[in-house]
Amino acid sequence: MKSLDWLLLLLIITITVSISVEAQNQAGFISLDCGLVPKETTYVEKTTNITYKSDADYIDSGLPGKINDAYKTLFQQQTWSLRSFPEGQRNCYNFFNLTTNRKYLIRGTFMYGNYDGLNQLPSFDLHIGASNWSSVKIRGATNTSMHEIIHVVTQDHLQVCLVKTGPTTPFISSLEFRPLSNESYVTESGSLKLSARVYFPSASASFIRYDEDLSDRVWDTYTDDKTASISTELSVNTNNFYEVPQAVMKTAAVPVDASKPWHFSWTIDDASAKSYIYMHIAEIQALNASDIREFDITYNDGTPWYSYFRPAKQSITTIFNPSAVKSKDGLFNFTFAKTGNSTLPPLINALEIYTVVDILQLETEKSEVSAMMNLKKTYGLSKKISWQGDPCAPQVFRWEGLNCSYSNTESSRIISLNLNGSGLTGTITSDISKLTQLVELDLSRNDLSGEIPVFFADMKLLKLINLSGNPKLNMTIPDSLLEMVKSKSLTLILGEALSPKSESSKVPMVAIGASVAGVFVLIVIVAIFFVVRRKKGKTTEEGLEISGKAPGTPPSATNRSVNAETRSSNPSIITKDRRITYPEVLKMTNNFERVLGKGGFGTVYHGNLDNAEVAVKMLSHSSAQGYKEFKAEVELLLRVHHRHLVGLVGYCDDGDNLALIYEYMANGDLRENMLGKRGGNVLTWENRMQIAVEAAQGLEYLHNGCRPPMVHRDVKTTNILLNERSGAKLADFGLSRSFPLDGESNVMTVVAGTPGYLDPEYYRTNWLSETSDVYSFGVVLLEIVTNQPVIEKTRERPHINEWVGFMLTKGDIKSIVDPKLMGDFDTNGAWKIVELALACVNPSSNRRPTMAHVVMELNECVALEIARRQGSATMNSMGSFDYSHSSASEFAPGAR
C-alpha cells in the first residue's frame, strides 16, 4: 500500500481543547478497597492521595480477607485487604448512577498474598456486564496483577463480575472507575483492554499515576540496553484529549545506535485479536538551527505507519490508528528509521497498546434490571447464589427461576419468573409490573399478604399467574383480572385459601378451568361480572369495561379505557380504504414476535402484509396521544405522498387497539448507521451527502408541497430512516401539524420535539414555524459531518453547534469531520455543508435559509463529491487490530 494511503488512514491529533477534570476532589472517581471492614472505613492512600472506601455497598456476596502481614510493607494499602468468593460461579459488583454514554477507565487489582494460607495461585475470569473482559492468572503470592479496560457505559448502571473457571477461588483487592474524555481512545466498535502503557525514564524512576495523571492511568517504566533516555526540565504542551502527564512527556527514548533502524516488538497472546496503538511524541531536546529530527515508522513487513514525521517542539503529538489492526501471528514489530534529511535519531515519549473486547452479548432491558434488583432487595433474596449480575445475560448465567427471550438486535427480556417457595413475605411488589414481557408468574408457596394487585390486569402478555399456597393473601380478585380470566387469555391459580372478608364470602379457589370446581368458580365470576356491569350503567359499543386480550398482545396494545363521550364526539376516520382489523394485525406481526423499536407513543413491530414487509406502531395506553390525535395523524398521513417520506400503508382503529402500519425501512435509522450499529460499515461521504439531500427533499415537501403546508416538529437523525439501498426517508409525523391558515394562531403551550434539536426561539416565544424545522435540520447536518453527539457535557462546548463553531476558529475543517472517514471526503464540500448547517442553526430565525435553498446547496455538495470520486482512486481500508492487558508490570515491549 502506498505511503500516501496510509497517511490518509492515520489520524494525527494536536488538539488544543482542554479537558475539564476536577483533579483535587477526584470528581467521578469510584475507588473501592475490596473487603475493607468495617464498611464505613475510608482512608487516603499515601502514595497517590486517592481516597478509598469499602466495597460493601456495591456487592452482597463474598468474604473479606487480608493478605499475609509479611507482605504489607511491600505494597500499597489498597492491596492489604481483599474479598474472596468461595460460593457461586458468578459474583458481581453493581454500580449505579453512572453517567450514561460516558467513557470510563475501569481497573481491577489482584494481590493474592497467600491470604488463605493455601499457597494455591488462583485463576478465574473477569466480566464487564455480560461480556468476557479478561482472564486473571496469579503468577505468584506477591505478584500484583492489574487489569484495565476502557469502556463506554451505555446505561446508568453496570456490573463487574468475577467468574469461577476452575477449582480455585476468585478474589479481588481493589476496583476503580475513572471518567475519561469521550474524545479520547475512539474505536470503531468494542471496548479497549490494556496490554501496555509505558514511558521511557531513567533507570531509577518508578511508575506514574494519580495525581500526576489526572485520569489515574498507570504508566509503567521501560528501559533496555538498546535505548537511552533523554529528559527536559521545560514544560511540554500536553493539551490534547489524552492529557498525558508532564512527568511522562518530559522524558523520551532514543536509540543508542543512531545510525541503525530502531525496533520495538511485542506479542499479543490471541493472534486473532485486534489492536489500537497510541504513540505520544514531543521534541524535548534543544535543537541547533541545523538539526533535523525526521523519521519514518513502519510495522511488521515494512507496511508504512507514518512517514516523514517531525516531532513538534515541546508539544505533544499523538499518533494512532483510527481502525483496529491485527497481525496474523500476534507479533507486532515497529521500526523507527530516520530519513535521509535527518541529523538526529527517532524519538518516542510514551506508548499505549490496547486490544479490542467485543461486547457481543446484549444485556437485559434496563427497566427490567432495575425491577429485578428492587425485587431482590424487597424480598431479601440476596442469598440466591445465582442472582448476580445481569438477570438474563449471558444465557449460561441466567438467574435461577427466570426464562428470557434473546435477540441479536434487542435487549434480553424476562418472559417468566418462578419464585415458588422463596420465602417471600409482605405484599406483592409493584416492581413486577415493570416486567412488561412476562408470560408466566409463579409466586406460590410463600407467605405473601395483602391484596391481589390490580396491575396484573395491565400485563397483557401474562398467560399464567400462580398465587396458591399463600394463606395470608386476600383472595378477592379485582374486576379487571376477572375480565382476563373470562376472555380465557389468563389462567389464575389461587389454591385453597379464604378471603379474609368473612366466612360467608368464601369461594373455593382452585385452578380456574381445571376441574368441576373450576366450572363452579367460573359461574360465580360471571354472575359477579354481570352485577358489576349493570351497576356501571350504559356504555357505548367500545365500552368502559376492561376486556382480555389474545395471547401475544404487547404492552403497547393494552386496553386504553377510551372515554366513550370523547370517541363519539370525534367521528371515525374519513376513509376506510386502508383500515385493518386487530386480528389482521396479530396475524401480520405473528403475535408481535419481533420488536423493531420503541418511542414515546408506543412499540414498533415487524410485520408482513400482502407479501411486503411493514412496520406496525401500536399505540401504548400510557401514550399522551389520545384518539383525537390518532385520528388526526392518520388523516394527515393519508394525504402525504413523497418518495422521501415514510408512507402509511394502513391503520388499525379496532376498539381499544390503535395502530399505524408504515412501509418497512430495512436499514434502520441514520443515527444507528452513523454509530456503526447496522453491520459496522462506515457511511461514506457520498452516502452522507445523498442521505442529507433526500431527507431535505422530504422536509421541503412538507413545507411547500402539502396543502395546507406542514411543520414536522421533531427532525432528528433517529427520524431519518434508510431502506435496503440506503435511500433516506423522513419518518415520525406524530408531532406534525399544519401551518396556521385564515389567521389561526400556531402558538403551542407544550414544548414539542427533542432537546438539542429544538429551535431556541421556540422556548422564548412558543411560536412554531418552518424555521424551527430548518434549525433542527441544521443540527442533523452537523451530526452527519462530525458523527458527534448533539449534546456532550464533557466537551468544552457541550452543544454540537457551539463545539463546531469553536473548532472552526482554528480554520481546520478536518478537526471536526468524522475520523471514521479517514480523510476520504471532499474538503470543499465539507466546508460548504458546515457553512450551510451553521446558517440553519442561526439563533435568529429570520436569518435562516428556507428548505428549498437547503436542498439546492446540498445538491451541489453531492455533485462535488461525485466529481471527486470520478477523479480519484479507490481507497484501501485498514485492517482491524485488538488489544488486551494482563498486568502493567508484566509488559515489556521488546526493543532491539
CATH classification of the domain holding 618: 3.30.200.20
pLDDT score, position 527: 53
**Same domain for 654 and 677:** no
Which of 536, 571, 591 lies at the terminal end of a domain, its last residue? 536
Q: Is 617 annotated for ligand binding?
A: yes
**Same domain for 676 and 657:** no
Give the position of cell 460516558: 102
258 within some domain: no
Instruction: Say which amino acid occupies 564.
Output: A
Convert the pLDDT of each residue in 302-335 to its tens digit: 888 998 999 999 999 999 998 899 888 889 999 9
Which of 636, 663, 690 lies at the terminal end of a domain, its last residue? 663
317 within some domain: no
Which residues, in sequence order, are bridge partners of residue 106? Answer: 149, 177
Q: Which strand (E) or helix (H) includes residue 491?
A: strand 491-493
Spatial separation of the C-alpha atoms in residues 199 and 223, rounded to whole Å: 9
Q: 3-state secondary structure string, 15-43?
A: CCCCCCCCCCCCCCCEEEECCCCCCCCEE
pTM: 0.56
Range 692-731 burial, b when 16+ CB lie within 10 A, else e: bbbbbbbbbbbbeebeeebbbbbbbbbbbbbeeebebbbb
CATH number at residue 519: 3.80.10.10
pLDDT score, position 466: 94
373 within some domain: yes
Which residues, in sequence order, are bridge partners of residue 163? Answer: 90, 125
Is residue 557 within 8 A of residue 623, CB to CB? The reply is no
219 within some domain: no
CATH number at residue 54: 2.60.120.430
**DSSP secondary structure letter of residue 6:** H
Spatial separation of the C-alpha atoms in residues 316 and 244, rounded to whole Å: 9
**Same domain for 572 and 687:** no
711-735: average pLDDT? 85
Instruction: Give Cα separations from 292 to 289, 339, 345 (angstroms).
Output: 8, 10, 9
Pick the catalytic residue from 714, 818, 824, 826. 714
**Same domain for 494 and 387:** yes
**Same domain for 566 and 518:** no
**Same domain for 618 and 512:** no
518 within some domain: yes
| 211 catalytically annotated | no
| Mean pLDDT of the chain, nearest integer | 81
**Same domain for 400 and 482:** yes
**Cis amide bond preceding 394, omega within 30:** yes
CA Rg value for the chain = 32
How many distinct structural domains can be found in the chain?
A: 4
Spatial separation of the C-alpha atoms in residues 824 and 818, rounded to whole Å: 10
What proportion of the chain, given as a percentage, has pLDDT over 90?
54
Convert the pLDDT of each residue in 414-471 to its tens digit: 999 999 999 999 999 999 999 999 999 999 999 999 999 999 999 989 999 999 999 9
**Same domain for 523 and 395:** yes
pLDDT score, position 552: 40
Give the position of cell 468468593: 85
Of the candidates 620, 663, 682, which has an alpha carbon nearest to the alpha carbon of residue 822? 682
3-state secondary structure of 798: coil
**Same domain for 683 and 646:** no
Instruction: Give Cα separations from 620 to 555, 559, 725, 734, 858 (angstroms).
Output: 7, 9, 31, 13, 38
56 within some domain: yes
**Cis amide bond preceding 211, omega within 30:** yes
CATH number at residue 727: 1.10.510.10
Spatial separation of the C-alpha atoms in residues 687 and 679, rounded to whole Å: 15
Spatial separation of the C-alpha atoms in residues 146 and 159, rounded to whole Å: 18
**Same domain for 478 and 621:** no
Which of 663, 695, 723 lies at the terminal end of a domain, its last residue? 663
Convert the pLDDT of each residue in 665-704 to its tens digit: 989 899 999 988 876 678 999 999 999 999 999 999 888 8
Residue 707 domain boundaries: 670-849
pLDDT higher than threshold 50 for residue 537: no
877 within some domain: no
**Same domain for 713 and 597:** no
pLDDT score, position 561: 31
**Same domain for 839 and 693:** yes
893 within some domain: no
What proportion of the chain, given as a percentage, has pLDDT over 70?
81
